[in-house]
Amino acid sequence: MGERSMDKRIAGGMVGQGKRTRTKAAMPPLERGQDRPLTPLEKRYIRLQSRIASLENWVLAAFSLLILVTGLVMVWAVIYEALRRGPEAWVIPFVLLFLGVGVLGALLLKGFLSRRCRPEQSAHSLDGVLKEEIFHSVHPKTGARSKHYRYKIGDVTMIWPPGARAIYQPFVDQHIQLTVVYVNKTKPVQWFGEKSALFESSRDAVVLAFKDLINIQGLLTRYGSNYFERYFLKQSAMGAVIFASILGALYYVFLGQDFYQFEGKEIGLAILGIIIGLAVIFGLASVAIKYAVGVLKLKIDLKSHEEKLKG
């Protein structure tokens, strides 16, 4: 009797261990036409992506409110100036112009505030040709041009993991298959047409798995459920350290000096020297870390973000 009950406990423990292993294992990409329930870690990742989209939405709404307020203030300023100086012909065009700015801001604000994103509760297989859309924007003051990218399969916009562009960009114009979660949008912003960077698809797809290159379940299982929060924090910290290092070095070089006594060539050479010097310092630090891992056997994970995305 005792041996039989002990055998049952051992068998039960093995079954429980097997269940835990299957739960933690990286989820393989779905076959065409298949779907499956989301794992708890995948649900957490979807919530993170939803928070990012919500934050972007509120930023755009705030920008729209700024446009609205600017238009109304300028209308008031033009009317006030006309009342002070007396009515003139130039008043009407400017009032109409700034009223148009205010109306545009109101429409944008209404659109962004009424937009809702609702992720589905299951993962689906999506296959098709990956298309890349490139948009150019020009800074109104500096004239600097910047590029913005959007990736779509059919009429569905893809939401890839942060920092994964080097993985999926080589597959542009190729037929690919993914495991995704669809995010349905109510009242997407589509006033400006598909050629606009502000145009939104009525459905997005959050990528969960792609070939053996991306596996969100495996990544979060191996590196922790808060991996992407730590990734964002690390990226921000690295940017802050580099910026502070350059700023501190510039301050040290010109400390106690009359900045205006330097010629443009000297300032340029000083800045270039600082950048090169900091690059050498960071390079030596990287070599030292690799030496510590290889020779001193310190447990430091040197895998790149792209490697970790494989799960």
Q: Inform me whether the pLDDT recorded for 135 exceeds 70.
A: yes
What does pLDDT average to over the chain? Answer: 75
- 208 alpha carbon, distance to own chain's centre: 15
pLDDT for the residue numbered 3: 41
Q: Which of these, 215, 229, 219, 206, lies nearest to 50 by C-alpha position?
A: 206
Scored b (16 or more CB within 10 A) or e, 260-281 reads eeeeeeeeeeeeeebeeebeee
Q: Inform me whether the pLDDT recorded for 99 exceeds 60.
A: yes
Beta strands in 189-242 (DSSP E): 203-210, 214-215
Q: Inform me whether the pLDDT recorded for 15 exceeds 50.
A: no
pLDDT for the residue numbered 129: 95
Write out the two tokens for 261.
């006594």
pLDDT for the residue numbered 23: 42
pLDDT for the residue numbered 207: 94
CB 171: neighbour CB atoms within 10 A? 16
Whether the CA torsion 89, 95, 97, 100 is positive or negative: it is: negative
Residue type at position 265? K
CB-CB contact of 193 with 168 (8 Å): no
CB-CB contact of 267 with 250 (8 Å): no
Give the span between the Cα atoms of 94 and 76, in whole angstroms.
11
Q: Inform me whether the pLDDT recorded for 204 exceeds 70.
A: yes
Give the span between the Cα atoms of 205 and 224, in whole angstroms.
23
